[in-house]
């Protein structure tokens, strides 16, 4: 009878995700993974097929976790925009120092694999497209609720949101700019309403 791998798959994926998010795929060595998740290379390969397989699972899990965070904020908000704003404030202000990187892991993946690894590049692009579709649905809901102008499509709102959010995350990676976070988030949501 084959030995069963003794680990909690979800926990391994989450820990690996944090490491990949911090260092990137190429800068994360097998030894880094081995130390972080407390698994030998043979066990990693047995469970995930390869470093790429573990990265793929981590990137998928990251995307699910971001959606779950947004859903959590939406469930306690009166409006779609209120939930999205609470999510942005949480990431930019409240939990900024808890993230392994100031850059979204999907954005980081899209940059890292642009020309190097077609399978991981396709996965990162596919997950980014799925996330954009998810945001588009949220903004369509906001339009239907009368929160936003219907002259702009849900997709256009989703794209604007992503650009603004990504820009804010990058900007607030700089030192001594924390006091600008709330005013800039305010401006972002004012601009969304005036598109």
Domains along the chain with CATH numbers:
63-194 (1.10.357.10)
CB 70 within 8 A of CB 83: yes
Convert the pLDDT of each residue in 61-95 to its tens digit: 999 999 999 999 999 999 999 999 999 999 999 88
Per residue in 36-51, pLDDT (tens digit) is 998 888 888 888 999 9
Instruction: Count CA atoms within 13 Å of residue 9 on its CB side.
Output: 10
Query: Residue 117 has what pLDDT?
Result: 63
* b/e burial code for range 84-121 (CB count within 10 A of at least 16 → b): bbbbbbbbbeeeeeebebbbbbbbbbeebbeeebeebb
Q: What percent of the chain has pLDDT over 70?
A: 95
User: DSSP labels for 123-183?
Assistant: HHHHHHHHHHHHHHHHHHHHHHTTSS-TTS-HHHHHHHHHHHHHHHHHHTTSTT-GGGHHH
Answer whether residue 1 shows pLDDT above 80.
no
Task: Report the pLDDT value the prediction gives residue 2, as an integer from 0 to 100.
Answer: 34
Query: Is residue 7 scored above 60 in pLDDT?
Result: no
Question: CA 53, CA 41: separation in Å to the nearest integer?
Answer: 13
What's the mean pLDDT in 120-129? 93
For residues 191 and 195, give the distance between their C-alpha atoms in angstroms, rounded to a whole number.
Answer: 6
Q: Name the nearest CA neighbour of 133 among 153, 115, 152.
A: 153
Rounded to the nearest 10 degrees, what angle do helices 118-144 and 105-112 cross at?
A: 140
CA-wise closest residue to 125 among 100, 143, 112, 106 = 106
pLDDT for 171 beyond 70: yes
- pLDDT band (50, 70, 90) for residue 5: very low
């Amino acid at each position: 009878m084959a030995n069963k791998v003794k680990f909690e798959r979800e926990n391994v994926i989450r820990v690996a995700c944090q490491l990949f998010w911090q260092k990137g795929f190429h800068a994360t060595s097998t030894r880094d993974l081995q130390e972080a998740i407390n698994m030998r290379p043979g066990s990693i390969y047995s469970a995930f097929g390869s470093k790429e397989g573990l990265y793929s699972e981590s990137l998928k899990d990251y995307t699910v976790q971001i959606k779950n965070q947004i859903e959590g904020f939406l469930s306690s908000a009166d409006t779609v925009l209120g939930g999205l704003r609470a999510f942005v404030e949480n990431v930019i202000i409240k939990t900024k120092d808890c993230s392994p990187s100031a850059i979204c892991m999907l954005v980081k993946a899209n940059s890292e694999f642009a020309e190097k690894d077609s399978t991981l590049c396709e996965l990162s692009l596919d997950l980014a497209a799925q996330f954009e579709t998810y945001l588009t649905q949220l903004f369509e809901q906001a339009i239907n609720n009368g929160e936003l102008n219907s002259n702009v499509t849900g997709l256009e709102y989703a794209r604007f949101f992503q650009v603004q959010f990504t820009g804010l995350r990058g900007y607030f990676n700089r030192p001594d700019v924390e006091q600008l976070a709330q005013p800039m988030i305010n401006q972002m949501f004012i601009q969304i309403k005036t598109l």
